[in-house]
């Protein structure tokens, strides 16, 4: 997504969204936003097989409301903003003001990470 494109996910309270991306998720001044009762913690963006990246101008023009999960390659926010969580299996980089704002939980909160062991 880019050039000011916006995807808005809306619905009644407690509705959940799952976005499966089997390539690379790239936002270039694009936004994935929630509205009308949906919270960022009810949106899971599962990127498989590519790199998740958000880039844009200095004011975090690329914004994701949700949980961005990419367990295989890398996640890059340059700058980009996530209102939710970022879960990665390898490298996560925040450059030029990239940020994550975790909203207040309305119930259970889960923190998870994946540990890699190297064999020599």
What is the rounded average pLDDT of the residues 70-95? 80
Phi, psi of 117 (to 5 degrees): -105, 140
Phi, psi of 40 (to 5 degrees): -60, -30
The Cα-based distances of 100 to 13, 63, 67, 92 in angstroms read 23, 10, 10, 12
Tokens of 11: 């619905």
Please tell me the predicted confidence (pLDDT) of residue 102: 83
Distance CA 15, CA 66 (A): 13
C-alpha 96, offset from chain centre: 17
pLDDT tens track for 19-73: 988 877 788 888 899 999 899 999 998 888 766 776 665 565 788 899 988 887 6
Please tell me the predicted confidence (pLDDT) of residue 112: 46
Non-local CB neighbours of 20 within 8 Å, separated by 6+ positions: 46, 48
Phi, psi of 22 (to 5 degrees): -95, 20
Spatial contact of 77 and 94, defined as CB atoms under 8 Å apart: yes
Q: Does residue 9 carry a pLDDT above 90?
A: yes
pTM: 0.76
Q: Does residue 6 carry a pLDDT above 60?
A: yes
pLDDT tens track for 92-102: 887 777 788 88
Distance CA 100, CA 61 (A): 14
């Amino acid at each position: 997504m880019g050039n000011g494109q916006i995807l808005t996910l809306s619905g009644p309270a407690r509705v959940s969204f799952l976005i499966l991306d089997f390539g690379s998720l790239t936002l270039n001044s694009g936004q994935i936003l929630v509205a009308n009762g949906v919270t960022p913690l009810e949106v899971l963006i599962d990127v498989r097989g590519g790199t998740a990246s958000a880039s844009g101008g200095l004011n975090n023009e690329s914004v994701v409301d949700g949980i961005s999960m990419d367990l295989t390659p890398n996640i890059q926010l340059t700058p980009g903003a996530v209102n939710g969580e970022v879960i990665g299996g390898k490298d996560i980089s925040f450059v030029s003001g990239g940020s994550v704002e975790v909203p207040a939980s309305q119930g259970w909160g889960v923190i998870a990470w994946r540990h890699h062991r190297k064999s020599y």
